[in-house]
Chains A and B, each alone.
Chain A
Amino acid sequence: MTDSKLSTFDRKDGSLVIAHVLFAFGALLIGGIAGMLQGMVKGGTITLPAGIGYYELLTAHGVLMALIFTTYFIIGFLYSGVSKTLGGSLLPIARKLGWWGYLLMSAGTLIGVVVILLGKASVLYTFYAPMKASPWFYIALALVVIGSWLSGYGIFYQYRKWRKTNNGKLSPLFAFMSVITMLLWQIATIGVALEVVVQLIPWSFGWVETVNVVLSRTLFWFFGHPLVYFWLLPAYICWYVVIPKIIGGKIFSDALARLSFVLFLLFSIPVGFHHQLMEPGISHFWKYLQVVLTFMVVIPSLMTAFSLFATFEQSGRAKGAKGLFGWVKFLPWKDVRFFAPFMGMLIFIPAGAGGLINASNQMNAVVHNTLWVTGHFHLTVATSVALTFFGITYWLIPAVAGRVLTPRLNKLGIVQTIIWVVGMFIMSGGMHIVGLLGSPRRTAYNTYDDHPDAILWMPYHVAMAVGGIILFVGVLLLIYNVVALLKAPKGETEYPLGEVSEHAEPTPKYLENWKLWLTVTVVLILVAYTIPFIDLIGNTTPGSPGYVTW
């Protein structure tokens, strides 16, 4: 079905999208303040006033950035594309589910932030047992997760109705990818839901004395790895579906794009052990098996890189580009809707390289729990994904709110992107190097009694603080831009959706065979986790009581 390019975005749906986007940026702002302060503390430039702990700030920073900013933006963005491509507006039930999800998540977020700032949950966003937070912290998290499930059901509902009324035709690419993303999320969150509801809440309330620590960690990382793909896949949706339109080109291959997303569904989940490589309690064999599966999930990202290069090159050559890299000049560098996501793509190269290293079994010992890891995820989620989301915002808000992106705002967007990249280069660059030198992550200011190793780290910590301040300036400019977009001149903005290239192979129907792919997904999870879980659950050694060590 073709929507007229300039058909107005449904107003009611627009409100839902804007609500999510604004909440996301609100979380980014508060999380950003925390982050900047942390950097300055580690760099030795400030000490925090009494009543604010470093680890409280760190918990808030992690939760707001990695869980709230991301989830809200993603759901808002996905709903916008589902509304646009699956009929031009959301069905009433889908929209209701969207709002109920929003309500529950927001209730959870507010409770969580309050509990954290009251100092009752300085357990960081991974909340590892047996550190025991207030039960309200876990309840808050549960509300956020359950809310997100409702949001997912809204998308599934709209999709299923569309498929029924369109006789099982191949779905629009954006919608297909959105369904994969929310399916991935639905399955992944089972792990953390079990951990929080079955293990942690009863234990935190005191109804149960002890908790099985390794089991809780394993359930968390069952969730924690696919979480990063939940972040990444919406960025990929932009790269696959939106960017070709913005550069005046075509989608290189619909089939390859769908295949990559299917591979993400299959291989993002049965890999949690690569976050537990240095832990006791899990055998070598299972760690290695999950490392092999982890390397499999690298493949769809490599496919994506190929597809993007090919899209750019095809589009450039169609406009007359010559030579090996002539097509680079034909890309719209001055358009923030391209430039910001492109910088995200570029930075995904070192980001992914770092990830490959992290997952490499025993090599993980070089980087585990050092600032290298922090450097890595500030490239992946805080740059590749974040810059893509920022880039999306510059057309999304105008498109759904009936405004236009002015040349001035476009320019400010480019500036904001550059500030971000510079700040991140300094901060994350410093983190990678000092991590290799051994400096630990999640650690407040220290010199370990002036140990020579620790003294060596200080200049890098200072660089990190400088980078963090620059990034915060970037956050402020972004917030300004977002507010300005909401007040921009009225007009029609196109929702950019790419068309598939004429040269592309037709897409095989089996790529949309949900029964098949869900079965394979479940089988892989069972293979990777059944025996380790049986071993962990059958453990007769007593569990651990709770501790409040802060």
Chain B
Amino acid sequence: MLAVFLLVLGIMTFGTGFAPPNEHIHRIDPTKVSETPPFDKPQLTKIGENEYKAAMVAYAFGYDPAEQMEIPAGATVHFEITSSDVVHGFQIPGTNVNVMVTPGEISHVSHTFEKPGEYLILCNEYCGIAHEMMKTTIVVK
């Protein structure tokens, strides 16, 4: 059993690189999402050589920005997401991007997209009648 423990402890020590998401607690008024930057204008912004920021809003039943997000292969995206209504999920299958999006809180997760393709971003937390249709995509060129 101790061996099992040590394994996990080992993970946590390099946990600064591989920690669970949402390191930093960041709150927001859930009724004022559309007025609070950066969520007043959800969009993808380039902030560095191969680095981007994506401010997104989850709602029943989709994600803003509605416009297709595109990035070059090898780019790192820092997602910053909140919900304007109920709890949603934000998951990119095939990657470790998998966070909850809770009203009143802002979720932070980052990922480097090495391979080109169209990545599915879906909601994996039941949020209502059209939950199974809630998705968007991000294109990596």
- Chain A residues within CB distance 8 Å of chain B: 53-55, 58, 122, 124, 128-131, 212-214, 217, 276-284, 287-288, 291-292, 295, 298-299, 302, 356, 360-366, 368-370, 437-446, 448-449, 451, 453-454, 539, 541-545, 547, 549-550
Contacts and interface: CB of A to CB of B under 8 A. Distances in A.
Interface string B1-31: 1001100100110010011111101111111
Nearest to B29: A542
Nearest to A451: B120
A441 B124 contact: yes
A283 B26 CA distance: 11
A140 B136 CA distance: 37
Contact of B120 (A280, A281, A454, A541): A454
A443 B60 contact: no
Given A441-B124, A541-B27, A550-B129, 5 more contacts: A276-B100, A280-B99, A281-B105, A361-B15, A438-B93
A442 B126 contact: yes
Contacts of B29: 541-542
A246 to B, nearest CB: 29
A122 B97 CA distance: 27
Contact of A547 (B5, B86, B132): B86
Nearest to A42: B132
B104 to A, nearest CB: 6
Nearest to A276: B100
B76 interface: no
Interface in B83-123: 85-87, 89, 91, 93-94, 96-108, 118, 120, 122-123
Contact of A453 (B5, B60, B120): B120
Contacts of A212: 104
Interface of B: 1, 4-5, 8, 11-12, 15, 18-23, 25-31, 60, 85-87, 89, 91, 93-94, 96-108, 118, 120, 122-129, 131-133, 135, 137
Given A214-B104, A539-B27, A549-B128, A284 B86 contact: no
A440 B133 CA distance: 12
B20 A365 contact: yes
Contacts of B15: 284, 288, 361-362
30 contacts: A128-B87, A213-B104, A277-B20, A278-B22, A280-B22, A280-B25, A280-B107, A281-B104, A287-B20, A292-B5, A295-B1, A361-B8, A363-B11, A365-B96, A368-B98, A369-B125, A440-B89, A440-B122, A440-B124, A445-B132, A451-B135, A453-B94, A453-B120, A454-B120, A542-B31, A542-B104, A543-B104, A547-B60, A549-B60, A549-B85
Contacts of B93: 437-439, 453
Nearest to B118: A451
Contacts of B106: 280
Contacts of B97: 365
Contacts of A454: 120
B100 A55 contact: no
B91 to A, nearest CB: 7
Contacts of B101: 280
Nearest to A303: B1
A360 B11 contact: yes
Given A438-B94, A443-B126, A542-B29, A295 B20 contact: no
A543 B31 CA distance: 9
Contact of B105 (A280, A356, A444): A280
A299 B124 contact: no
B54 to A, nearest CB: 16
Contacts of A443: 124, 126, 131-132
A360 B8 contact: yes
Contact of B8 (A295, A448, A451): A295
Contacts of B19: 284, 361-362
A256 to B, nearest CB: 15
A458 to B, nearest CB: 14
B31 to A, nearest CB: 7
Nearest to A53: B129
A298 B124 CA distance: 28
B91 A440 contact: yes
Contacts of B21: 278, 280, 365
A281 B21 CA distance: 11
A549 B98 contact: no
Contacts of B103: 130, 213, 544
Contacts of B127: 131, 549
Give the 10 A-B CB pairs with smallest separation, nearest first. Answer: A438-B93, A549-B128, A440-B124, A369-B124, A446-B132, A280-B105, A280-B22, A550-B129, A444-B132, A541-B27
A59 to B, nearest CB: 9
A280 B124 CA distance: 15
Contacts of B22: 278-282
Nearest to A438: B93
B20, B22, B106, B127 pick with most chain A CB within 10 angstroms? B20
A260 B31 CA distance: 48
B91 A369 contact: yes
Contacts of A446: 132-133
Contacts of B120: 448, 451, 453-454
Contact of B28 (A368, A541, A545): A541
A547 B97 CA distance: 27
B126 A279 contact: no
A550 B86 CA distance: 12
Given A368-B98, A438-B91, A361 B26 contact: no
B4 A298 contact: yes
Given A453-B120, A454-B120, A298 B20 contact: no
